[in-house]
Structure 1
Amino acid sequence: MKRAVLIVLDSLGIGEMPDAPGYGDAGADTLGHIAESKADLAIPNLLSLGLGNIEGVTKLKADAEPKGAYGRLTEMSKGKDTITGHWEIAGLYTEIPFKTFPEFPEEFMEAFEKEIGIETLGNYAASGTEIIEALGPEHEKTGKPIIYTSADSVFQIAANTDVIPLERLYHICEVARRMLVGDVQVGRVIARPYVIQDGQRVRTSDRKDYAVSPSGKTVMDHIKDSGKLVYAIGKINDIFNGQGVSLSVHTDSNMDGVDKTVQALHADFEGFIFTNLVDFDSKYGHRRDPVGYGKCLEEFDNRLPEIMGAMKADDILILCADHGNDPVHEGWDHTREYVPVVVWGKRLKQSVNLGTRASFADISATIAEYLSVSKSEMGESFLGLLTES
């Protein structure tokens, strides 16, 4: 009974891609700058699997005989956002990047406000934590939701849940998702609820993403169509708008995501476990906190033996990222970087250098071959490098 377990360490890039300057990301290196900023970075389990052996990773110590296979992935698609990265991991190419808006057109905002029955605040690009501090007092006084965007293709709506209850916030997001089509289509509408704790505005784990549906069939569809289970953990279900998902569970944090991944591993089924650990990106990359990012990476590393210990003989584990988010780079947005791929299984070869792969989609092609299902539109499997001939 075979299973593939894919955990996305959201935003853990490993160095600028050749086209990074065109995205304003020259010199970006998420993992390298974390290692420089936190000199005592302790991630022995990731290093034992080969993370430090990957081409271009120069700030970490290479393992003499890594227990896993390791390499780096190139993003073929245009963009550096969450949806583009995850869709390519799952086997879809995005040729035209999702539209981004420094602000949304006045005529759209007027129509949106009429539809939801209230005026809005903001409508500019900002850090989520900064804009709720800047506009929170007015929002809490007037009840007007806060609208903001970023260099990603997003329309984000923030609200204090004591002012706009969560279900009302979700409804407002659903209205926005329905209206943001055509010339104003964006990849995601995101609910950004917050509360006030000890006098501080704190975002909650009730974030919800409303994404456009995938442009074609992904490896998830092929696995589900074959009768096997696709078990989505974290924001995976939102990113794919539920397409190709058999079972989905929400997570409150990275560690909750690990807990629920381990729970899934203890269950008996054949198929695919797909987990996203978003704290790396949302709490530390966007907030430009390299030391906090490093501590978060250490927390995951400490749990890695537990994940591996819960795996059955025919399970394979793949760790990767979906883009970069260099915590020392200017601004607060994603960065165009290579991402790591680390693979381990009890019956897989060790110390295998997968090299620099041409696409994130090589992951989906490998999973498809391993689970004996149809492959998606792109990607080349590296399964043959991991198994005995």
Structure 2
Amino acid sequence: MPASAPTPLPHADPALRRALIVVLDGVGCGAAPDTDAYGDTGSDTIGNIARAVGGLTLPNLQQLGLGNATAVLGVPPVDHPRGGYGVMLPRSSGKDSTTGHWEIAGLHLEKPFPTYPHGFPPEVIDAFVAATGRPVIANCVASGTEVISRFAEEQQRTGAWIVYTSADSVFQVAAHEEWIPLEELYRACETARLMLVAPHDASRVIARPFVGTPGQWKRTANRRDYSIQPPGITLLDVLESAGVPRDGVGKVDDLFAGRGIRSRHTTDNVEGLEAILQWLNTAPRGFCFANLVDFDQQFGHRNDVPGFQGALEAFDRALPSLLAALREDDLLFITADHGNDPTTPSTDHARERVPVLVAGARVRAGSLGTRDTFSDLGATVADWFGQAWRGQGTSFLPTLLHA
């Protein structure tokens, strides 16, 4: 999409502005036009959770317009929302975190990353074994907790890597921290990242360390993600070239292979929210891209409806502190990267549309409509910082701001 002239604004030097995108990982809000083609018929993460528990209590998100944007039991529309609200449709091929974040940042994928429903082929596993010096066990599709339960004792006996995948494009390596040093696990994952090129260019390599004893295995907070490099220019590249400071919270830097951003890695949503609030209270200017992963990692993939409900309501309780920390020329965007509906039989991501809520003193409350792509969000942030780049999106800044 060609560049556009930045939206003329009657206030604030763009160099002094701030913007924050908070991605509620996996919090989709209903069917996209091609949901059925992905095998996700009926998925509506936040809507189905609300129906399953008899209604959600999200008063602060409600005031920003969540119930105006999408149907959520317990969160009805309000007559006078305090923010901009709408939904965004996915346009890239795929439904994983990398694809979703890249699309937010202006980059579309024409074909999805490869997946491995029967495990990785011999040429991939053999090369990994040769490069790391350890054998491989498992090589199957499984949840993290399941694969550890099945293969941890064999790892202890053999010293082998536990390699597994999911319905998403991931090469995951699990290792007990007391049997295989963390640094060795990280090196092995870095090796795998370098090896996994087309046609086996998996979206992410993930280090999955764990601890414990039989029957009491527990994954630790020392996970690391190693993403493939974005194949084109993203919002982060544009802001870097313009000298706009960029900070991440959570796994965002991993998803962009460290290009254009560095993140404060967090163990859970509580720590993530603390990091976001610290940025709001201290950053003089710039952009923060934050990911809160518990919705997806802890609850969506485990079909834990009460846990997901609790995480949503905990975020809502924390939201006033974020809103109170906003300055006059700040924009706060709340969105998601895909769905992960815990009420369906699947434990994997779902192809869904996502909500987009916007808060800030300059925001004109009202509908942003249905956006054709997540990339409209990245285009809007670029526009806010006075940049002409739009990626694959269209800025909704003119609709969003007071005249």
Counterpart residue number, 1:362: 376
- Name the stretch that deviates more: 223-232 or 194-203: 194-203
Alignment of 1:130-149 (within 5 A): 130-149=146-165
Partner Cα separation in structure 2 for residue 120 and residue 133 of structure 1:
16
1:18 CA drift (Å): 2.2
Q: Which runs of 5+ in 2 are unaligned?
A: 1-15
Partner Cα separation in structure 2 for residue 116 and residue 29 of structure 1:
41
Partner Cα separation in structure 1 for residue 159 and residue 109 of structure 2:
38
Paired AA for residue 393 in structure 2: G
What do residues 298-355 of structure 1 show as CA deviations (whole Å, max 9, x unaligned)? Answer: 11111101111111111110000000000011221100000000001012112x1111
Identity value in percent: 46
Match for residue 89 of structure 2 among 57, 71, 74: 74
Paired AA for residue 144 in structure 2: G
Q: Does 1:286 align with 2:339?
A: no
Q: In the alignment, is the contact (CA less than 8 A) between 1:37 and 1:291 conserved in 2?
A: no
Match for residue 188 of structure 1 among 180, 185, 204: 204
Q: Does 1:314 align with 2:329?
A: yes
Partner Cα separation in structure 2 for residue 12 and residue 177 of structure 1:
28
Q: Does 1:221 align with 2:221?
A: no
Matched residue pairs, number?
Answer: 387
Alignment of 1:83-162 (within 5 A): 83-102=98-117, 103-162=119-178
Partner Cα separation in structure 1 for residue 124 and residue 393 of structure 2:
38
Partner Cα separation in structure 1 for residue 37 and residue 49 of structure 2:
23
Counterpart residue number, 1:2: 17
- Name the stretch that deviates more: 55-64 or 172-181: 55-64
Counterpart residue number, 1:330: 345
1:64 CA drift (Å): 2.0
Q: In the alignment, is the contact (CA less than 8 A) between 1:229 and 1:270 conserved in 2?
A: yes
Partner Cα separation in structure 2 for residue 104 and residue 197 of structure 1:
28
Match for residue 235 of structure 1 among 236, 251, 254: 251
What do residues 335-380 of structure 1 show as CA deviations (whole Å, max 9, x unaligned)? Answer: 0000000001012112x11111100000011101111123242101
Q: Which runs of 5+ in 1 are unaligned?
A: none
Q: Does 1:44 align with 2:55?
A: no
Paired AA for residue 354 in structure 1: L
Q: In the alignment, is the contact (CA less than 8 A) between 2:56 and 2:73 conserved in 1?
A: no
What do residues 260-295 of structure 1 show as CA deviations (whole Å, max 9, x unaligned)? Answer: 111111114321011000111000000011110010
Q: In the alignment, is the contact (CA less than 8 A) between 1:139 and 1:145 conserved in 2?
A: yes
Q: In the alignment, is the contact (CA less than 8 A) between 1:10 and 1:277 conserved in 2?
A: yes
Calculate the TM-score normalised by the size of structure 1.
Answer: 0.97
1:93 CA drift (Å): 0.8
Partner Cα separation in structure 2 for residue 56 and residue 74 of structure 1:
16
1:388 CA drift (Å): 2.3
Partner Cα separation in structure 1 for residue 51 and residue 306 of structure 2:
9
What do residues 68-107 of structure 1 show as CA deviations (whole Å, max 9, x unaligned)? Answer: 1110000011111111100000000111111111211112
Counterpart residue number, 1:349: 364
Paired AA for residue 311 in structure 1: L
Q: In the alignment, is the contact (CA less than 8 A) between 1:73 and 1:340 conserved in 2?
A: yes
Q: In the alignment, is the contact (CA less than 8 A) between 2:149 and 2:215 conserved in 1?
A: no
Partner Cα separation in structure 2 for residue 78 and residue 216 of structure 1:
15
- Name the stretch that deviates more: 20-29 or 176-185: 176-185
Counterpart residue number, 2:387: 373
Partner Cα separation in structure 1 for residue 97 and residue 81 of structure 2:
29
Partner Cα separation in structure 1 for residue 264 and residue 394 of structure 2:
30
Calculate the TM-score normalised by the size of structure 2.
Answer: 0.93
1:56 CA drift (Å): 4.9
**Alignment partner of 2:289: what SS?**
strand
Match for residue 266 of structure 1 among 266, 281, 304: 281
Distance 1:268 1:32, change over 3 A: closer
Q: In the alignment, is the contact (CA less than 8 A) between 1:229 and 1:269 conserved in 2?
A: no
Partner Cα separation in structure 2 for residue 250 and residue 30 of structure 1:
25
Distance 1:78 1:56, change over 3 A: farther
1:197 CA drift (Å): 7.2
1:12 CA drift (Å): 0.3
Q: Does 1:387 align with 2:395?
A: no
Partner Cα separation in structure 2 for residue 197 and residue 250 of structure 1:
27
Q: Does 1:244 align with 2:260?
A: yes
**Alignment partner of 1:148: what SS?**
strand
Paired AA for residue 154 in structure 2: E
Partner Cα separation in structure 1 for residue 52 and residue 177 of structure 2:
36
Partner Cα separation in structure 1 for residue 44 and residue 283 of structure 2:
39
Partner Cα separation in structure 1 for residue 67 and residue 33 of structure 2:
21
Q: In the alignment, is the contact (CA less than 8 A) between 1:188 and 1:211 conserved in 2?
A: yes
**Alignment partner of 1:182: what SS?**
coil
- Name the stretch that deviates more: 374-383 or 151-160: 374-383
